Amino acid sequence: MITRTDLSLATYCLRLGDDALVMSHRFGEWVTYAPQIEEDVALANIGLDLLGQARALLTRSGELAAGDGPAATEDDLAYWRDERAFTNVHLVEQPRGDFADVTVRLLWFAAYQHALYAALTDHPDPTLGGVAAKAVKEVAYHLDHATQWVLRLGDGTAESHRRAQDAVAAVAPYVDELFTDDELVTDLADAGLAVLPSSLRAGVQSVVTAVLLQATLTPVTPTWHARGGRAGVHSESMGPMLAVMQHLARSHPGASW
């Protein structure tokens, strides 16, 4: 017997897991492209932290959605869903860009994840609560790493400042979606089973704004907002990214390594 609440919670885990999975893949793309080999390792480490979160969240999502039946595994969900079935926000799927882009994007995302996981540590679902308790420490480091680099790029050379300011403007349209509520998450939050995204907005914005101002950067108010990621409507770059991410598993079903 699968309750409606279980299904909603499965979707909630899927959303958080998809955010982490897609962001993780984008960070993997940075290996050998970072400005120094030390940063290659740092970005890969962050990507691996996110992948660990994604694995646990997708596994839990599969279990909750299956009830007593056979559950979709983490690999089923990562490799065998098509674009419209992915529930991540647009921010995490954006193409690599330059080093300022990934740094400013990580600042927003890590600040968001940190507030989110901190609020989920005492979640009644033991898996979700456990993932959050472990991840909140990982994400604190991601936030620190992004902060360190935003300060140095923003308050660095004229060129690094210009590119960091461009990155702040480029990410701005994708921020609002992180804090957008819908019916599913509102119902879950009413039952104490989810954190209302809108409740995180003020705290995250003040964390990011403080870093930007200290970095001599100017916060940007966007003229449009990305929408629809949670419902499976994605931007142009999502399809090509999935093609790369899923190609091996789909070309060689059942392969192991």
Partner 1 sequence: MSEPLWEVFVRASRGLSHQHVGSLHAPDAAMALRNARDVFTRRQEGVSLWVVPAAAITASSPDEREAFFDPAGDKVYRHPTFYEVPEDVQYL
Q: Which residues bind partner 1 (CB under 8 A)?
A: 35-39, 41-42, 45, 144-145, 148, 152
CA 190, 134, 136: angle at the middle one, nearest 5? 65
Q: Quote the CA–CA distance of 228 and 86 in Å, as a whole number.
A: 11
Looking at the Cβ atoms of 32 and 36, the one nearer to partner 1 is 36
* Minimum gap (Å) between residue 141 Cβ and partner 1: 8
3-class secondary-structure state, position 212: helix
3-class secondary-structure state, position 62: helix
* Minimum gap (Å) between residue 125 Cβ and partner 1: 28
* Minimum gap (Å) between residue 152 Cβ and partner 1: 7
* Minimum gap (Å) between residue 157 Cβ and partner 1: 11
Q: Quote the CA–CA distance of 253 and 234 in Å, as a whole number.
A: 26
3-class secondary-structure state, position 203: helix
Looking at the Cβ atoms of 39 and 93, the one nearer to partner 1 is 39
Looking at the Cβ atoms of 36 and 223, the one nearer to partner 1 is 36
Looking at the Cβ atoms of 164 and 170, the one nearer to partner 1 is 164
Q: Does the CA dihedral 158-163-164-168 come out positive or negative?
A: positive
* Minimum gap (Å) between residue 36 Cβ and partner 1: 5
Looking at the Cβ atoms of 42 and 238, the one nearer to partner 1 is 42
Question: CA Rg, the chain, in Å?
Answer: 18
